Every structure is written in C-alpha cells, then in structure tokens.
Structure 1
Amino acid sequence: MQTEMPDIQSTFQAVTTKRELAERLGSSLKMLAYYLYKLPPEQQYKKYDIPKRTGGTREIYAPISGIKQIQKRLSHILQNYQPAKFCVHGYVKERSIKTNAYIHRRKRIVINLDLKDFFPSINFGRVRGLFKSAPFGFNDEVATTLAQICCHDGKLPQGAPTSPVISNYICRRLDNELIAFARKHKINYSRYADDITFSTNLQFLPTAVGHIKEHKIVLSNTLRKIFQDNGFTINEEKTRYALRTNRQEVTGLIVNAGINVPRKYIMRIRAMLHAWEKYGLEAATKEHFEKFNYKHKHPDYPEIAFKNELTGMLNYVGQMKGIGNRVYIALYYRITRLDSNIKLSIPEYIPAPEGTTVVFCEGKTDPLHLEAALSWFHQQGEFSDLDLHFFKWRSDLDINNDTLLQMCQTRPQAKRDNRIEIYLFDRDVPRYIQKAAEKDKSYKHWEANVYSALLPVPEHRDFNEICIEHFYPNEDLLKEDKDGRRLYTTREFDPESGCHLKLKEVYYAGTRAQLRCKYPKILDSNVRKTGSDENIALSKNNFAKNIFHKTGSFKEVSFTYFKVIFELFEEIIAQAK
C-alpha cells in the first residue's frame, strides 16, 4: 500500500477537469453527469429508517449502484492518501472499537461525549472547502464536483461509502486541537466517528475540562468552544462520566481493568443458547424475534437469521475478550454442540503441562514435522532441556496467519498463567513478516510470555519465503511414497506451458501465476499426467504422516537443517525467563 501512495497522490492531485476526475474514478464524463445532474436527487439514494435502541430512528441513505461504485473508488483513494491521526479509530484500517477502548483502560475517570447529528452537520460547503484546501488544492470545478459526488441534500449522507473517510478529514483540525488540549492538561483523548472519549488518572479533574456537579459532568466553556469553532455540537443527553468504582464504558466495551464485553451482552448470548437448548431452534427463534427484537427485524428465514445473529455475537466476544478466553470457549462449545456446521474460525485452546512451552503453528502438519525433528535431535543428545508441546489444531478449524496474529493480539489479556506460548509463522506471506517479528529479530514479544516467531531461513536455501517442508534437503523433500506419489515444486515446471521440465507426461493444471512465483513453492495438488484428471502429487498431510510414522522410504530423512528452529526457541525461552 505504501508503494501505491505516491502514485495515488500524483495522479489524483493532477486532476483539473471533470472529465479527468471521472476517468480517475473509473467512470466517464457522460455517466458522471447523468448521476449528478440528470438523475433526480430522490432517485440517487434509497432512504431507510433504522430504529435506535434509545428510541427514535436513524436515517440511512444508500446510494444506487452506479453512484456507490464511484464513491467506493473515491473512498479508496482518500483512505490511502493521507494516514489518519493516531487518536482516530473509526473507519481506519487495523483500528477498531477495541483499539479505541484500549487507551482508556484502568483510568480514574472516563468522560464520554457524543457529537450531535455528526454526518448531517458536515455540509456541502465544508466538503467543497476540504477539497480546495491542503493537501488537495483542487480548483473550483473539481472541488465542487467532488463535493457533489460525496453529498446528498447538501450534506454528508450516512450510508455512503465516502462519508466515513470524508468525516475523518473534516475532523482533522478538531483532532489536532483536542490532541493539544489533552496534552496540555495531561489527559487522554480518542475519537471513534462521533464518539469522543477523555480519560485520566489525575486525582482531580482539570477545571479546563469541566467539573462534576450533582453526579453529572459539566464541561468547561473552553472545551465546548473547541467543538463549536469546528462546526460541531455536543449531544448533552449522551455526555457522561464514570469513576473507576463504577462501570466505565468506551465504544461499548468495559475498560475498568482490561478490555471486556458488558455482562448484559454475555447474558443475552447465554439466554439465546439456553432457549435453543431447552425448547429447540424453532421455538427459540420465535421467542427472540417476538420479545427481544431490538432492531425490529422481520427476516424471511428467521431460523437462519437467529443462528447468524448468535454466531456474530459470539464472534464479537471472541474478538474482544480473546479467543483463548474461558467464557468464550464455553459459549463456543455450547453453540457447536447445537449445530456442528457453525463455523467460527476460532481455535480451541488445550493447556499443556505446567512448565512446558506451547508452540502454535500456522500449518496443521507443522507439529508432526517439528515433533519428529525434536525427537531426532534428542536421540543425538541435543536440545535435551527443550520441553516443548506442539499444539495440534482440530481438523475442522480453518487456521491461517490471520488466526495466529489474532491470538497474539488477544492471548496476553486472556492468559492466567506464566507459560510461554510461541506462535510460529511461515515466511511465505510477506505482509506478516513485519507483524510477527521486531526489527533485526526473528521474533516479537506481545506481553504475558506470548511470542510470535518467523521460521528462520535454513542455510541450504537461497530464498526467504520459507515454509516447514523447505527444511528438508531436496532428496528427502521429493521422495516418493509406496504409490509413487511425491511433492513437487514450482521450479520443476515451465511457467508458460505448465509442462514438467523433465517428466514429459507430467504437467501442472493450476494457474500459471502459481508457477511464476520467485521461489520454489511446494505443490501438492493439480499435478497431473497427460490424459488423466487425477492429481498424482503427494499431499502435504500424507508427506508429514509418512515422516512422523517413518513409513517406507521416509524411515530415514535428514532433520539437520531444523536445528535453527530449535535454537530460535531456546533464544525466546531464555529471554522469557
């Protein structure tokens, strides 16, 4: 994404006419003119009224397909154009309600504000002015057209793809002033869309912020003026404060100690599960939509909607409390017992013996390779003090690098012991390398003895995109099993024709893009012989099992190059202790 930004800036800022703008947004001047000028305003958007839990309704304006596509392209450009302020957590990639709440954990006082009519208060003139000023600097024609693309009825519509990112740009001056205000008075500040939060551990609330009167927070005129000068109005009904002796809530999460989900939310999930367990799915669904239908839904397939809602709530708990959290795991087991087809892409956690270091791998076959290798080294008298437990995932779980990264982020809050946990990432997905390791190291400490680590590069390989199978020498990596099947690598095939370079009847039936990768990627599928649709490659799973069980020709294999992995584990364990 970083490499794309200069190109986005230069090509977008070079726009000087409506025609150039239309082309930059993947449209044409004719289509853009039709949507903006010929199509009546009432036909440009569809209005929906969504009930609020607190009463009243929220107006959502969804653009028609053609306008939506243009807005999505513009939104993508703007999101990659300039990074959001560090205090902004709404509508920003890799930030969330959780990162917003995290700042305000364990504080003496938390203050919550809400901006009234947030999107509608950002009018056409403000949006047009945004595009005329830095960092954009567009002329009147382009700035006006951009504002017309983004606005409906003279203001930002809630429901348009461009509204969130535009609101963050509009709020940059507000954010700058509140950052300076917060630093001056030694308080914390964050914003998630229209939700403003301040917090502090100071013994007394600074008078510049406000004062507490009759169990209510009265904001200072200084603070109010910052919002007023930036064109926003504070919603007095939603202004509140909470001391650490009370429940402190930030963007729906409890922050008194760590990050937690409100107890009522968990109780609601348990009640839905209990009704399903006791009365069956049909009766539980009927009761739910008749008595507890807060969003006033009337789905065509209520039982499916009930399960989807419950699954979504459970997934939210896993994301917020941590996927190794005991409360989550208990709920996970209950729902999967009721319906085994429900997929929550969340691993179960089985504790290893006390004092053992637990290793979690991205690949389901990795533990077999590592166990076999460690056993071999033990027989050679090496790594005898290395006490490792290689965690084995359930076969029905979809485990990938995202899962491992999520566990690294959430496990420190969920752990209740000092056991060392190492999450081992392959090197064949570049975007995880910086996330899983600190600079000049092959690992990273996430707190609470939770570590992520990258597979080291074995000395016999001349590339960095390493997965576990690459630790075997080629004579073992390409060994045939009793049926003549073996693993293949992309370097064995012609990248244009897909034909094997030595075996005339063998070809690769997958995409040519796979064969064009710069390193020898392991292939265990789509390898065929001429005249047959059957895959002749050995699966990675069977390759690992053959090695682990010492089957046939796999009885003797070399684990020499695995040594660097266990040396890395020793280094991590030494640091943890």
Structure 2
Amino acid sequence: MSEYTDNLRKSMLELGNSNDYIELCINYARKLEKSHVPIIFDKIHFLVLTELKSSQLNDFLNNRAGYYREFELIINNRKREIHAPNNILKELQKWIQLYILKPLRVSDWATAYIPGTSIIKNAAIHIGQECVVNLDLKNFFNSISAVKVHRVFRVAGYTKELATLFTKICTVNNCLPQGAPTSPYLSNLVCIKLDQELADFCQSLGIRFTRYADDMTFSGGKEIVKVLPQIYKIISKQGFLINNDKTKILNCGQRQEVTGLVVNDKVSVKKEFIRKLSQEIHFCLRFGVSNHILRTGIRKSNYKDHLFGRAYFINMVDKSLGDDLLKKLQSIDWEY
C-alpha cells in the first residue's frame, strides 16, 4: 500500500465511511497510481488541483466553441484549419498534458511529439532498404473522435464523469483541435492499438515500420507492395483513411525519402534544399538583403528567421555543413 492510499484509508475511517466505500476508493486510487497519473475523484477535486473556479469551468462547458479562435494556415503547401484555445483553456489543457497525458506511455513505433525523438531518428530506421513506402493519414486530427479520446482517459483509470470532462476540455466539434497543446500527445495515445497491430503484422514479415504523426513509413523488401492491401485494412479498421495522393513507393534505384529526409545510404538533406539556401545566402551577400528581396519579390516578413531555420535544420542532419551555412548567414548585414 502506498503512503497516499494509507493516508486515504485513515482519513476515510476517521470520517466514518463504510469499509465497502473505502475499498472502492482505495482500488480506484491504486488504478490511477499504476498509470502514474494524478488521483482525482471528481470534478470538485479537479477544480481544487487546477485552481480553476467552478463558474469558469461551467462557462467553458456551456460555450466550448467560443473558447477557440479559428483560422487557416498554409503548412507545407497544405491548408490547415487551426483551432487555437484562449489563455484560460490553454492553461487547463497544459495542465492535463503535463500531469495526465505525459506520464502515459505511447507505442514504441510513434516518433513524433515525444522528447528524445525527431524526424532524423524516424528516418534513420529506414536507411538502406530495398523499398520504402510512405503513407499519409487523411485529416489526421479530425479523424480522432471524442469517443476515442474518452477511451484514453478511461484506460488510464478515471471515472466516466472525469473522462467525459477531460474529453470536453481536449476536443471541439467532436474531434481533436489542431492548435491545442493536448492534441499531439493524445493522437499518439489514441493510435497505440493501430501502431501495435501494424507493428505485429510488419514484424512477422521482416518489414520496418514507424509513424511520425500522420506520416507512416514501411521499409524492407519489395514484398511490401504486395501486402499494402492488408496494411490498408488494418488502418481502416482503426477508423483512419489513407490520403492516396500522398502515397509514395520508392525503390532503391530512386531517391528514397522519409519525413523529408533522404535515406538511401544515410540520413541526408535533399540536395536542392541545400542548393536553394546556399543560393539565397550568396545573393544576400552579393546584393544586400533589401535589394535581393526587391529583385526576387520575396514576401516573407520573417525572411531572416526563415533562412536561419533552414540552416538549423541542415545543421541537425549534417553539422559541418550546417555550421558553415550558419557562419555565412551571421556574416550578412541584415539591416534590421
């Protein structure tokens, strides 16, 4: 028995609770301890822990959509609908992320949104394979329903009442909002069963598998292509759809890419990505930043950050080349 449950039993005995009720509460607390999440008995207990007023929570529950700001962003040539929570809701979601979600373990095949992982480590698993297949899960966050999120909190051990409350805090329009701090990690937790089923299937055939958010990669021999229908079936069974326009089958004679990195014989950045950055640095040094922007019609207000961001990305993969590019960027007269 833990110190917490020992103290809980003593307190409840002093209050005159029945032995049956005490055992019920102790067993509930033990279940949550096993999941390494906070022991929370009801909504009032949750309000005490989060220092949130009951009126604030009720206002949110009666107007959940009003606590989000909706806008669109273009990311990697894709239009994304963002639901950004206001400060009150964001702080509440951060609390759930830190204390409830973060202690829960995700699958070994999930490589996004987890400390210590990166697109580089994700790509490295698929180096030097005969065939690489990339699949994209369509409308990933929108495909994760409130029902699936509710199940995450129930599996962690929480009551139906609390699981429902946490689900309402973490979802909007019956799905995960893109823009909430809880959505990325929740997506990994929801996908545990999907990852496990795909991993079991792939391992039986000697196929390597990873999932970086909505990007799934399978690598190995050419037999992967033959078993794609079975892979699609597993994905469909878990409630996800494949974006067929983004499916890529890459053989060893082609440039094989995984999450934007080349993996034919080592993890490397695409040559045209490096060439384009080197060219922009050259023109900035030769003509000056303002003249270069005027000549080319560049409309990025954060142009300096944009170039440095690209150089830091290269630096993560190839430190020597990245250091050289960063040194050149630092030598530019940025005029601001």
Between the aligned partners of 1:265 and 1:22, the Cα distance in structure 2 is 50
Q: Which residue of 1 aligns with 2:253?
A: 245
Task: Return the TM-score normalized by structure 1.
Answer: 0.50
Amino acid at match of 2:46: L
Between the aligned partners of 2:315 and 2:30, the Cα distance in structure 1 is 38
Contact 2:218 2:224 in 1 (8 A): no
Between the aligned partners of 1:308 and 1:224, the Cα distance in structure 2 is 40
Between the aligned partners of 2:254 and 2:140, the Cα distance in structure 1 is 28
Alignment of 1:301-450 (within 5 A): 302=301, 305-321=302-318, 323=319, 325=320, 327-339=321-333
3-state DSSP class of the match of 2:143? coil
Q: Which residue of 2 aligns with 1:50?
A: 73
Larger radius of gyration: 1
Moved beyond 6 Å, runs of 4+: none
Task: Return the TM-score normalized by structure 2.
Answer: 0.84
Confirm or deny that 1:110 pairs with 2:132.
yes
After superposition, the C-alpha distances for 1:255-298 in whole angstroms (9 at most, x for unaligned) are 1111111112112211221221121111223456x35x5xxx5x
Q: Which residue of 2 aligns with 1:284?
A: 292
Q: Which residue of 2 aligns with 1:20?
A: 45
Among candidates 187, 203, 206, match of residue 186 of structure 1: 206
CA shift in 2, pair 1:13/1:208, >3 Å: farther
After superposition, the C-alpha distances for 1:88-119 in whole angstroms (9 at most, x for unaligned) are 11000110111100100111110000000100
Alignment of 1:193-272 (within 5 A): 193-200=213-220, 202=221, 204-206=222-224, 209=227, 219-220=228-229, 222-272=230-280
Q: Which residue of 2 aligns with 1:34?
A: 59
CA shift in 2, pair 1:31/1:223, >3 Å: same
Contact 2:131 2:224 in 1 (8 A): no
CA shift in 2, pair 1:25/1:171, >3 Å: farther
Between the aligned partners of 2:244 and 2:74, the Cα distance in structure 1 is 20
Among candidates 263, 270, 282, match of residue 274 of structure 1: 282
More helix as a share of residues: 2
Alignment of 1:517-536 (within 5 A): none
Amino acid at match of 2:217: T
Among candidates 65, 77, 80, match of residue 99 of structure 2: 77
CA shift in 2, pair 1:113/1:207, >3 Å: closer
CA shift in 2, pair 1:25/1:253, >3 Å: farther
- Aligned pair count? 306
- What is the Cα deviation at residue 13 of structure 1? 5.2
Q: Which residue of 2 aligns with 1:142?
A: 162
3-state DSSP class of the match of 2:265? coil
3-state DSSP class of the match of 2:134? strand
CA shift in 2, pair 1:121/1:104, >3 Å: same
Gaps of 5+ in 2: 1-28
- What is the Cα deviation at residue 312 of structure 1? 1.3
Contact 2:289 2:334 in 1 (8 A): no
Amino acid at match of 1:131: F
Between the aligned partners of 2:128 and 2:172, the Cα distance in structure 1 is 42
Confirm or deny that 1:99 pairs with 2:121.
yes
Q: CA RMSD in A?
A: 2.5
- What is the Cα deviation at residue 70 of structure 1? 0.7
Contact 1:63 1:159 in 2 (8 A): yes
Among candidates 184, 187, 190, match of residue 170 of structure 1: 190
Amino acid at match of 2:324: A
Bigger RCO (CA 8 Å, 6+ sep): 2
3-state DSSP class of the match of 1:117? coil
- What is the Cα deviation at residue 26 of structure 1? 4.3
3-state DSSP class of the match of 2:115? coil
- What is the Cα deviation at residue 139 of structure 1? 1.8
CA shift in 2, pair 1:69/1:334, >3 Å: same
Contact 2:316 2:322 in 1 (8 A): no
- What is the Cα deviation at residue 242 of structure 1? 0.6
Between the aligned partners of 1:227 and 1:150, the Cα distance in structure 2 is 24
Q: Which residue of 1 aligns with 2:111?
A: 89
Q: Which residue of 2 aligns with 1:123?
A: 145
After superposition, the C-alpha distances for 1:508-560 in whole angstroms (9 at most, x for unaligned) are xxxxxxxxxxxxxxxxxxxxxxxxxxxxxxxxxxxxxxxxxxxxxxxxxxxxx
Gaps of 5+ in 1: 1-5, 210-218, 343-577
Between the aligned partners of 1:113 and 1:179, the Cα distance in structure 2 is 15
Amino acid at match of 1:137: G
